[in-house]
């Protein structure tokens, strides 16, 4: 196995990704940042320089389990102190599995300022995939806001609450198009919003007739659930979060923030024209606010800028959850590549997802607890026995009133509590998590939450509508060929059941991948086998009560 070294300079730069000029966080001048290309077993070394001047930084390697390197997970508050402005930090980890992964900032709401990119891990030389294709391409989807993350974070933690609203644009591989005529205030800067700016010319994927393309499609949206489609072409889903999928053919690929999929497309349509690649928001009514994201599938040798002769196809109806649930259920492990889950679990943790208030502030909670981080990262606190830095009482495995909780209504008392207590799992035990959705504080409203687990893949055992029935629903679990993933959606008014083995020594975040929900407390932390973690590098220290451990 090889070693791949990267040197990244992270800084703010003015970018016009959707033609509107705003500050974005870039890596070596780019957003999305460079794609990390590696082979299974390689060691990745990324030397990061924080050039953000007035802002801390941390970078997470989403989907990489960090076996033996839990301090490289890049989760500020959990596995490391933030990288201070002007400082360097070196992430070092092994990519032990082939597949499609992501990286992104994991400090505050920094991810949505543009620090993100793809990780593509190939099989070792001579090992074949269970499908064939001629070319391999990565496409990252994102939503894009014109307000700064500071304005958004301040709004979310204010009374009255200021919601981030729907994004201004959708970006396909970092490119979008905002209608500049919608701006309320004109600017004297001719480039402040200029649709002729080449920086916002649409992403173009040039393809050759008769060939098959593997598209690695991933989403790092701040808020939006998306549907992705290619006009006139079906997509065959073959990979999800680094695991082979029993192939299914789709016209709309539904994708939630933090998920990655590979699809195969065959270039077999009328070759004298180009086709639209589009993405739309689903699950929220953004039709009047966010235009679809557009890119061009360019059939060589047509001019790549030639606009397709048709209108971009309309996306699916935003509030129809049935096809989204159907796709979730249809994603199964590929025959011949099934990892069978342990038949039974040692512990079941039910996590009821609710929107609440604490002292008048709007928050998101699980089991009525909205999560806060201590000043000292858990990994260091636990390794160095600094037990006073966070609440030692275990958080609830199940809200005691769960059986009587009405998931379809707005509860009378929406008040929650906040805590920094964590779930401590027995090393090597098998844990089931039931994510239970509910109504928000708005009547007849339940949202989709993509939950992401650090440090593990989990089996997706099942999805259901309504309230989880602890007696009967487990009998319907798919134990035969469940897909393994690291991110999974809990659909409106539904539940999702997962199983994982707590076999990775470290401290791991589990959270909703919607940036504002995460920020508002929709997260928990798991610890397992921390005593097996080897000596922590002093580079991760320096904040809270860890100052004494940092070598000069
Ligand atoms: Cu991709 Cu903790 O996130
Ligand atoms: Cu959420």
CA distances from 375 to 82, 250, 546 (A): 11, 46, 9
Ligand 1 lined by 509 (C-beta under 6 Å):
yes
Ligand 1 lined by 104 (C-beta under 6 Å):
yes
Q: Whole-angstrom Cα distance, residue 185 to residue 484?
A: 48
pLDDT, tens digit (0-9, with 9 covering 90-100), for 442-491: 999 999 999 999 999 999 999 999 999 999 999 999 999 999 999 999 99
Q: How far is the CA of 514 from the centre of ligand 1 (A)?
A: 9
pLDDT, tens digit (0-9, with 9 covering 90-100), for 247-257: 999 999 999 99
HSE, CB side, 13 Å, CA atoms: give it for residue 404: 3
Mean pLDDT over 204-213 rounds to 98
Q: How far is the CA of 352 from the centre of ligand 2 (A)?
A: 12
pLDDT, greater one: 104 or 189: 104
Map out the domains of the chain as residue ranges: 3-330, 347-549
pLDDT, tens digit (0-9, with 9 covering 90-100), for 361-382: 999 999 999 999 999 999 999 9
pLDDT, tens digit (0-9, with 9 covering 90-100), for 516-543: 999 999 999 999 999 999 999 999 999 9
* Residues facing residue 495 across a β-bridge: 436, 464
Count each helix (H run) and each strand (E run) in the chain, helices first. Answer: 4, 32
pLDDT, tens digit (0-9, with 9 covering 90-100), for 399-424: 888 889 999 999 888 899 999 999 99
Ligand 1 lined by 334 (C-beta under 6 Å):
no
H/E stretch holding 329 reads helix 322-330
- Statement: residue 546 has pLDDT above 80: yes
Ligand 1 lined by 177 (C-beta under 6 Å):
no
Q: What are phi and psi of 485, to 5 degrees?
A: -145, 175
Provide, rounded to the nearest whole percent, the portion of the chain with pLDDT above 70.
100
pLDDT band at 360 (very low <50, low <70, confident <90, very high): very high
Ligand 1 lined by 65 (C-beta under 6 Å):
no
Q: What is the CATH class of 347-549?
A: mainly beta
The predicted pLDDT at position 46 comes to 98
CATH 2.60.40.420 is held by the domain 3-330: yes
- Statement: residue 53 has pLDDT above 70: yes
Which of 488, 494, 525 has the alpha carbon at shortest distance from 369?
525
pLDDT band at 51 (very low <50, low <70, confident <90, very high): very high
Q: Which atom of ligand 1 is nearest to the CA of 62?
A: 1
Which of 519, 523, 520, 522 has the alpha carbon at shortest distance from 112?
519
The predicted pLDDT at position 258 comes to 98
Q: How far is the CA of 422 from the centre of ligand 2 (A)?
A: 19
Q: How far is the CA of 64 from the centre of ligand 1 (A)?
A: 11
Ligand 1 lined by 106 (C-beta under 6 Å):
yes
Would the CA dihedral through 512, 516, 522, 525 be positive or negative?
Answer: positive
Q: How far is the CA of 67 from the centre of ligand 2 (A)?
A: 27
pLDDT, greater one: 428 or 399: 428
- Statement: residue 283 has pLDDT above 70: yes
Q: Which atom of ligand 1 is nearest to the CA of 75?
A: 2
Q: According to the 3-state scheme, what is the secondary structure of 33-47? A: CCCEEEECCCEEEEE
- Statement: residue 552 has pLDDT above 70: no
Q: Whole-angstrom Cα distance, residue 155 to residue 450?
A: 23
- Statement: residue 186 has pLDDT above 90: no
Average the pLDDT over each of 116-125, 144-153, 188-197, 228-237 and give the range with the smallest value: 188-197
Q: How far is the CA of 382 from the centre of ligand 1 (A)?
A: 22
Q: Do domains 3-330 and 347-549 have the same CATH topology?
A: yes
Please tell me the pTM assigned to this model.
Answer: 0.97
CB 498 within 8 A of CB 435: yes
**Minimum CA distance residue for ligand 1 atom 1:** 62
The predicted pLDDT at position 461 comes to 98
The predicted pLDDT at position 188 comes to 84
Q: How far is the CA of 338 from the centre of ligand 2 (A)?
A: 29
The predicted pLDDT at position 81 comes to 97
User: What's the whole-number average pLDDT of the chain?
Assistant: 96
The C-alpha angle with vertex 104 and arms to 103 and 105, in degrees rounded to 5, equals 145
For residue 63, give the ligand nearest its CA: 1
For residue 515, give the ligand nearest its CA: 2
Q: Which atom of ligand 1 is nearest to the CA of 102?
A: 1
């Amino acid at each position: 196995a090889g070693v791949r070294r990267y040197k990244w300079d992270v800084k703010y730069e003015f970018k016009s990704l959707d033609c509107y000029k705003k500050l974005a966080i870039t890596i070596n001048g780019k957003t999305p940042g460079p794609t990390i290309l590696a082979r299974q077993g390689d060691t990745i070394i990324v030397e990061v320089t924080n050039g953000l001047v007035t802002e801390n930084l941390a970078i997470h390697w989403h989907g990489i389990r960090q076996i033996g390197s839990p301090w490289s997970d890049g989760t500020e508050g959990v596995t490391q102190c933030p990288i201070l402005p002007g400082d360097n930090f070196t992430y070092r980890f092994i990519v032990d599995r082939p597949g499609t992964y992501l990286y992104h900032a994991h400090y505050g709401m920094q991810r949505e300022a543009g620090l993100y990119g793809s990780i593509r891990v190939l099989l070792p030389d001579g090992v074949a995939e269970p499908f064939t294709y001629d070319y391999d391409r990565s496409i990252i989807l994102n939503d894009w806001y014109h307000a700064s993350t500071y304005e958004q974070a301040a709004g979310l933690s204010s009374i009255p609450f200021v919601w981030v609203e729907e994004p201004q644009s959708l970006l396909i591989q970092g490119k979008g198009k905002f209608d500049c005529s919608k701006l309320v205030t004109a600017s004297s800067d001719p480039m402040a919003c200029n649709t002729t700016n080449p920086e916002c010319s649409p992403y173009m994927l040039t393809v050759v007739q008769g060939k098959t393309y593997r598209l690695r499609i991933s989403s790092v949206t701040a808020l939006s659930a998306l549907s992705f489609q290619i006009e006139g072409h079906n997509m065959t889903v073959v990979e999800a979060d680094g695991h082979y999928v029993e192939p299914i053919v789709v016209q709309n690929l539904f994708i939630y923030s933090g998920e990655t999929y590979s699809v195969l497309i065959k270039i077999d349509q009328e070759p004298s024209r180009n086709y639209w690649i589009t993405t739309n928001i689903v699950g929220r009514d953004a039709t009047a606010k966010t235009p679809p994201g557009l890119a061009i599938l360019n059939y060589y040798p047509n001019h790549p800028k030639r606009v397709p002769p048709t209108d971009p196809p309309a996306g699916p109806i935003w509030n129809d959850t049935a096809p989204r649930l159907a796709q979730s259920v249809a994603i199964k492990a590929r025959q011949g590549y099934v990892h069978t889950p342990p038949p039974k679990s040692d512990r079941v943790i039910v996590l009821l997802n609710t929107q609440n208030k604490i002292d008048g502030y709007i928050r998101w909670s699980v089991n009525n607890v909205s999560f806060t981080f201590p000043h000292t990262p858990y990994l260091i606190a636990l390794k160095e026995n600094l037990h006073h830095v966070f609440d030692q009482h275990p958080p609830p495995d199940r809200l005691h009133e769960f059986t009587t909780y009405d998931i379809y209504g707005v509860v009378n008392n929406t008040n929650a509590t906040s805590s920094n207590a964590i779930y401590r799992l027995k090393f090597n035990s098998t844990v089931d998590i039931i994510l239970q959705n509910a109504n928000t504080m708005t009547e007849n409203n339940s949202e989709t939450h993509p939950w992401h687990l650090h440090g593990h893949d989990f089996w997706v055992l099942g999805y259901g509508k309504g309230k989880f029935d602890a007696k009967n629903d487990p009998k319907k679990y798919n134990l035969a060929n469940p897909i393994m993933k690291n991110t999974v959606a809990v659909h409106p008014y539904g539940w999702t059941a997962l199983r994982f083995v707590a076999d990775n020594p470290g401290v791991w975040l589990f959270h909703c991948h919607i940036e504002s929900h995460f920020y508002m407390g929709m997260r928990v932390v798991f610890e397992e086998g921390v005593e097996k973690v080897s000596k922590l590098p002093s580079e991760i220290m320096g904040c809270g009560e860890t100052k004494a451990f940092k070598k000069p």
